[in-house]
Chain A
Amino acid sequence: MQKSSSEVAQKPTDPTNPKLDKEQRKGKSPFQLAYRRFVKNRMAVVGLILLTIIVLISVFAPLLTSHDPLESDMYNIEAPPSDEHILGTDDMGRDVYARLLYGGRISLLIGLLTMIFTVLIGAVLGAIAGYYGKWIDTLIMRFTDIMLTFPFLLFVLFLISVLEETSVTVLIVALALTSWPTTARIVRGVFLSLREQEFVLSARAIGGSDSRLIFRHMIPNALAPIIVNATLLMAVTISAESALSFLGFGVPQPTPTWGNMLTNAMNIRVLSDQPWLWIPPGVMIVLAVLAINFIGDGLRDAFDTKMSDNK
């Protein structure tokens, strides 16, 4: 059986060749290659380290401060930074440092959950529209277009005023409902081009079912743009949460978030005389959003195979 084909085969390399170690024989998957490119990107790595630190200090907040973020220290109201309160206290006598750490939990949680929901809704709708095409595509995409025309802030304000009370859940739902259309468009675009690729056609030719085509062949190849979009989306969501909380439509007091900590800065007296109340949360928002954006850019470059390896 081997005889006839070995004549036409290119001279096979000896599998027992000692020079050919396991590392060389085993291929590098596109994700492994992307990881290598990502690690070489300095800004992205800085962003990743920064974000890791922010996440860690939020998660391990109880270990880093002995103060309760909700507890008032009536003897120290609006106190400037001191040994007892590293970043001072606010107008209710609550420790700003503690609120900053615990606030990170809520802000990051909102960013993360909104991102997950947005990607789920957007990816599923986009994939269905792009894969099946025709009237299904028209239906979903026209709906998406309508959603896109709503001004985001107005829609959220409307939703929250209808529901009368806000909570973390309401905020996540509101943000996810307004941000999925962009993701849906991206995924649909990727699916439209993937659908015509020969490897998808070949998967159908060997007898693969629709779900096999979508989940085993198309989604893995659409993952790169989805991940990049999701990362950048998280940065947008964190700043959106801050903006809404600042306006008083976000997470209600006394739960700390970076956004509603900034609310204090609306008062001109606080703005000019008590910078410890608004500079720390402001800095945290900027750092988190910046870090995530760097990671997103890094991922985009890492997944873009057209970029040369040695860049």
Chain B
Amino acid sequence: MAAAEALLNVRNLKKYFPIRGGIFQRKIGEVRAVDDISFSIRKGETMGLVGESGCGKSTAGRTILRLYEPTAGEIEFDGVNLTELSPEEMRKKRRDLQMVFQDPFASLNPRKTVGQIVEEPLIVHGIGTPKERKERVRELLQVVGLDTYHAERYPHQFSGGQRQRVGIARALAVHPRLIIADEPVSALDVSIQSQVINLMEDLQEQFGLTYLFIAHDLSVVRHISDRVGVMYLGRLVELADSDELYDEPLHPYTKALLSAVPIPEPDAKRERIILSGDLPSPTDPPAGCAFHTRCPEAMDICREVRPSFQDQGGGHFVACHLMTK
């Protein structure tokens, strides 16, 4: 797997949202939602992206698709730098990059039938005749485990899990190569979560898809991901193969995060790392390492110098001064 070439290369991606105020709506500050992240995803793999609420993982996903214009950085998809494409070129490029959204109740247009929703990407990209498209919609609905007659129904007649299947069918319609799944299961019941995740895994195998899987549920991410990146306050703090990350986390934040995952064994003994303090505001992130305000092992250097994101061997990246002591 390590030999496979990269499909997506993200370099120094930043997304700052301006805060405006005053009478003239001057810029009075900015939210550093995504603050200089770099990673790559190989063809056919699933990369997980985890972090607390508000750490910028969803923003990162949306910025990669240029649903938000990046403030700085490069997004190289299959050799093409997406940030340099004109809006029209980008619109056409979207055929290769699709997205599955978090909230299945909000991501489907309530005034369209499921058939129209799934068909829309095909229309937008001018694929097939109306008859062929209808046929493809039926096929897609079956692929995601819905019935063909569901095409005539409206989203409000479906359950959350079914709607998420519709969202997946829509993303699959144009044979994309990369699917960014933004917390696709966090709005669903646990029993439905596994169904949707299994479906996504099956589809990956069937169509050779590459996933960027954004979630805050660590066990879900471990299950589906080949590699996992951990974000904190807009920055990637650790990135490694998923087994390695879960077994041997290096960054203090990852350790704390993993210690919070419940173990389904009542007698299991383990150390629970409890972080003190609150998440700092991304409008005014701490100097140096963003995590130093809450880090149990913070040193002087952490307060001054931002640690670089370095490979500790075997593709295990960490941004922490403890590693470079």
A residues with a Cβ closer than 8 A to B are 1-2, 4-10, 12-13, 15, 25-31, 138, 197-199, 201-209, 212, 217, 220-221
Contact = CB atoms under 8 A, between A and B. Distances in A.
B157 A27 contact: yes
B206 A1 contact: yes
A61 B294 CA distance: 82
B147 A202 contact: no
A5 B67 contact: no
Nearest to A11: B145
B107 A30 contact: no
Given A5-B145, A29-B111, A206-B94, 9 more contacts: A5-B199, A6-B145, A10-B161, A12-B147, A29-B113, A205-B99, A207-B125, A212-B124, A221-B109
Given A8-B202, A207-B92, A199 B145 contact: no
A27 B152 contact: yes
Contacts of A4: 202, 205-206
A221 B143 contact: no
Interface of B: 25, 62, 65, 67, 91-92, 94-95, 98-99, 101-103, 106-111, 113, 120-121, 124-125, 142-149, 152-154, 156-157, 161-162, 167, 170-171, 173-174, 195, 198-199, 202-203, 205-206
A204 B67 contact: yes
A208 B107 CA distance: 14
Contacts of B143: 1-2, 5
Contacts of B99: 202, 205
A206 B103 contact: no
Contacts of B152: 25-27
A202 B25 contact: no
Nearest to B195: A8
15 contacts: A5-B206, A9-B146, A10-B145, A12-B145, A15-B147, A30-B110, A199-B107, A199-B109, A199-B110, A201-B62, A202-B101, A202-B108, A207-B92, A220-B109, A221-B109
B194 to A, nearest CB: 8
A117 to B, nearest CB: 26
Contacts of A204: 67
B108 A199 contact: yes
Given A5-B203, A10-B161, A198-B103, A27 B154 contact: yes
Contacts of B167: 202
B65 A205 contact: yes
A202 B170 contact: yes
B94 A15 contact: no
Q: Is the interface of A mostly helix, strand, loop or mixed?
A: helix
A5 B174 contact: no
A5 B170 contact: no
- 7 closest A-B pairs by beta carbon, nearest first, are A9-B145, A27-B153, A207-B94, A198-B107, A206-B121, A198-B106, A27-B154
B224 to A, nearest CB: 13
B202 A5 contact: yes
Given A25-B152, A26-B152, A28-B154, A206 B98 contact: yes
A8 B173 CA distance: 20
Contact of A8 (B65, B110, B145): B145
B227 to A, nearest CB: 24
Contacts of B144: 5, 9
Contacts of B157: 27-28
Contacts of A209: 91, 124
A35 to B, nearest CB: 14
B148 A15 contact: yes
Contact of A27 (B103, B113, B124, B206): B113
A198 B144 CA distance: 21
B107 to A, nearest CB: 4
Contacts of A12: 145-147
Contacts of A199: 106-110
Contacts of B62: 201
B154 to A, nearest CB: 4
B103 A13 contact: no
Nearest to B192: A10
B129 to A, nearest CB: 19
Contacts of B65: 205
Nearest to A217: B109
B113 to A, nearest CB: 6
Given A2-B143, A199-B107, A221-B111, A206 B170 contact: yes
A201 B67 contact: yes
Given A2-B143, A30-B111, A197-B106, A205 B98 contact: yes
Contacts of B103: 198
Given A27-B152, A30-B156, A209-B91, A203 B206 contact: no
A138 B25 contact: yes
B270 to A, nearest CB: 33
Nearest to A138: B25
A5 B147 CA distance: 12
B202 to A, nearest CB: 4
B105 to A, nearest CB: 9
B107 A207 contact: no
Contacts of A7: 198, 202
B91 A207 contact: yes
A220 B113 CA distance: 13
A15 B121 CA distance: 26
B125 A201 contact: no
A65 to B, nearest CB: 45
Contacts of B102: 198
Nearest to A210: B87
Given A12-B145, A12-B147, A198 B111 contact: no
